Amino acid sequence: MAEQGYTSWAYSLVDSSQVSTFLISILLIVYGSFRSLNMDCENQEKDKDGNPLPGSFNNSNSNSECYIQGIQTIDSTQALFLPIGASVSLLVMFFFFDSVQVVFTICTAVLATIAFAFLLLPMCQYVTKPCAPVNKISFGCCGRFTLAELLSFSLSVLLVLIWVLTGHWLLMDALAMGLCVAMIAFVRLPSLKVSCLLLSGLLIYDVFWVFFSAYIFNSNVMVKVATQPAENPIDVLSRKLHLGPGMGRDVPRLSLPGKLVFPSSTGSHFSMLGIGDIVMPGLLLCFVLRYDNYKKQANGEVPISGRMQRVSYFHCTLVGYFVGLLTATVASRIHRAAQPCSALPGALHPAASSHYGLPEDMPCKQRK
């Protein structure tokens, strides 16, 4: 029996949902880091005055707040207060979710639309390159956009609309991936000091809200907020406008794209990973990648273009992230509880399963 239990426990670690969580999280960090590095290279080519980029290593005032093409550099003060702000936001969502859920859903949908358009932009540039016009298309006060940007934004809007109508978990994952890549690409850590301040504060934040919030609030605040579905804006709008009992009633409640969820091969449960557990370590890996690139340039080597030729700080840090994620996953399996920066096994009842796009009669139970 003990051997059978050990085999079942070991098998759960290589379940398709766990493997998907590991692979997708690592791919998102790698892709987002290289998108960030490519943005730096493009900005350096366009910068005719030779001004340093925000978060670059040749910037003597790298801790200052800088904005170039939407890039946001986190300074020491922001790193210290970000966990506090995140805690306040978590409490607001915990206590007043019913009051703010529609506004929060709409804001999340708008941000997800922009982020997913950013994710699709390289593919759209490749597709439209043969027929793309030389000049940008003007839309008056809205600005000027290329054909690829318009195509990526249109596809993103279409995806968000389908997600609102269906609430399917796969579309939610796609939007969450866009958010991860955009945040890693546009948010920069300027130094190792700021990185340590930010990640140490977020570690304390994560540990407190995962392990100790239940003693104060009689509920695991982090897990409840992460798994609580929101009302569909279409349903709310139909009730406000009194469109009739049948209008808008068939749309599902929405699970917001603040996490990645993957079903197991048997469909009995989901594995879940918050995008914060991807983005925040991803910011450190992005910083390390830019440092590797800076060292190569300082040594007169060819800058990083698409891959790295030898073991570097980026490779070592990526291995460290994998080991940390694996450790958290093993701990969640052993203790059968949520862990900071872990893939959470979702024990979903039938209603929750239909919420993620599964049939309501599918048996969903915790893996023993």
Q: Could you confirm whether 98 is annotated as catalytic?
A: no
Relative to beta strand 187-188, strand 259-263 is: unpaired
**Backbone φ, ψ for residue 159 (5° rounding):** -65, -40
- Say which of 15, 206, 235, 292 is annotated catalytic: 206
What is the rounded distance in angstroms from the CA atom of residue 287 to the CA atom of residue 190? 7
On the CB side of 318, CA atoms within 13 Å amount to: 19
What is the DSSP track for 329-340? HHHHHHHTS--T
Each as own residue / partner, the long-range contacts of residues 10-14 (CB below 8 Å, 24 or more positions apart, any chain) are 12/333, 12/345, 12/367, 13/329, 13/330, 13/333
Q: Give me the residues paired with residue 346 across strands.
A: 270
What is the rounded distance in angstroms from the CA atom of residue 38 to the CA atom of residue 208? 37
Q: Could you confirm whether 277 is annotated as catalytic?
A: yes
Return the DSSP state at 138: E
Token readout for 19 is 């493997």
Relative to beta strand 71-73, strand 187-188 is: parallel
Burial level of 334, CB count in 10 A (0-12/13-18/19+)? exposed
> Burial letters for 7-16: b for 16+ Cβ neighbours within 10 Å, e otherwise?
eeeeebeebe
DSSP H helices in the chain: 2-13, 16-46, 76-95, 97-128, 147-166, 169-186, 192-207, 213-217, 221-227, 233-240, 276-298, 313-335, 350-355
What is the DSSP track for 175-235? HHHHHHHHHHHHEE--SHHHHHHHHHHHHHHHHIIIIIHHHHHSS-HHHHHHH--B--HHH
Instruction: List, by residue number, the catalytic residues.
Output: 206, 277
